[in-house]
Amino acid sequence: MSLELSRGDRKIVLIAGGVFLLIAAASFIFAKGASSNDEVPSTYSTGSSGAKAAYLFLKKSGYNVRRWEDSLTDLPDPVGKTLVLAAPEGSPTSEERKKLDEFIENGGRVIATGVFAGFFLPENQAEPDPFAGSTWKKLPALSPSEITRAAPEISMLADASWKPGSFAIPLYGDHEKPRVVKYGVGKGQVIWWASATPLTNAGLKEPGNLEFFLACTGEPKDGEILWDEYFHGYRRSLAASAERTPLKWMFLQLALLTLAILLTYARRSGPVCMPATEARLSPLEFVRTLGSLYGQAGAAPVAVDISYQRFRYWLTRRLGMAGNASVEEMERAVGERWHFQDAHFGETLRACESAPYEAALKPGVALRLVQSLDDYAVKLKLFRISGKEKD
């Protein structure tokens, strides 16, 4: 069966196919490779911009570190806890922001990296600096502290800076632009980095970066490190995780293709309801009308002859006799072969045979003859009876 499309259907299919190809091409073009600098510093990523090496290093070095894939509203008791917000994507809700503020004020430490991490912090003086972030830079220490003593110089792709003159203590920077700062809030502490490159798989190998990272996290005995993956898209809910993966684009393409198919065929392939035609006569009305017609025409002999010819045809066929067999031959064959004995059988057949020649045959007599033929047909099993008739 050949499939033919109308001009309008072909147009819809071509438009849907074009959109499908554009989305597929955009997915390939803008997809982030394993070694892309735009990749988030996730502890699951082995790319150059991932952070799996730093996470595994902490594990093997005896640090109590684990991935945090819950909302910030579920943060545990902050005492002895360090939360790593490595270039988080998106922005926190008001409840998450409030819970994070409480976490810091009650003794928690937060290491936040990137310009967007400022939206999570109690004090946000981070400013984007895209021109400075085109190449890696050596950043010298600006203030004496335990961190700068461990690493006098670090390497960073600094695409942001902290506003000069704020109350935060600048730790590293260049040209009077702080790139790493720290400040206290209540009992806790915030350490902000311009970017996450010192803890990435590629940046961790640069001189001073590993020492700098370990100095920010503290000693293994200092407490537990919570590495946030919730804002990298790794969440305990399957739907929430899939929302931040390419799966949503695949489902969008499938939805567009399905919509195109529905628009193409639904218009003419839907159910077609034929208009109900009203019957001129019901079966019972037909029988009454036919009976009235025979009665007015005085055609009772015709009705008897029709029933008799039908009875005779099936009887001679079942007996294997000629169609012109006489009544006596049929009566004798029924008695000898089927052992059927009925004194009125022969009389009924003779009366039916002579009925067409009796113009004055009364309807009552004709009815009795037809009924007798039907009774004999049932007894001799000449006609097939349906299941409903048997019941």
Give the pLDDT confidence score for residue 179 in this predicted structure: 93
pLDDT for 325 equals: 86
Which pLDDT belongs to residue 85? 94
Question: Residue 12: what pLDDT?
Answer: 73
Yes or no: say if 126 and 158 are a contact pair by the CB < 8 Å rule: no
Cα(12)–Cα(378) distance, integer angstroms: 66
Task: Provide the pLDDT for residue 201.
Answer: 93
* Global confidence as pTM: 0.55
pLDDT the model gives residue 362: 82
For tokens 């036919």, name the residue.
290
Pick from 338, 390, 344: nearest CA to 371: 344
For the chain, residues with pLDDT lower than 50 are 1-2, 32-38, 386-391
Q: What is the pLDDT of residue 384?
A: 66
Phi-psi region of 71 (alpha: psi -120 to 50; beta: other; left: phi over 0): beta
Q: Locate tokens 């089927």: which residue? A: 338
Determine the number of helices (DSSP H) and then strands (DSSP E) in the chain. 13, 11
100: which residues sit within 8 A by CB, 6+ positions away?
A: 72, 75, 83, 92, 110, 120, 121
**Per-residue confidence (pLDDT) for residue 34, from 0 to 100:** 39
Q: Looking at residue 158, what is its pLDDT? A: 85
Cα–Cα distances in angstroms (integers) from residue 356 to residues 25, 176, 305, 366, 367, in the given order:
89, 129, 6, 10, 14
Enumerate the β-bridge partners of residue 126: 162
CATH code for the part of the protein at 32-245? 3.40.50.880
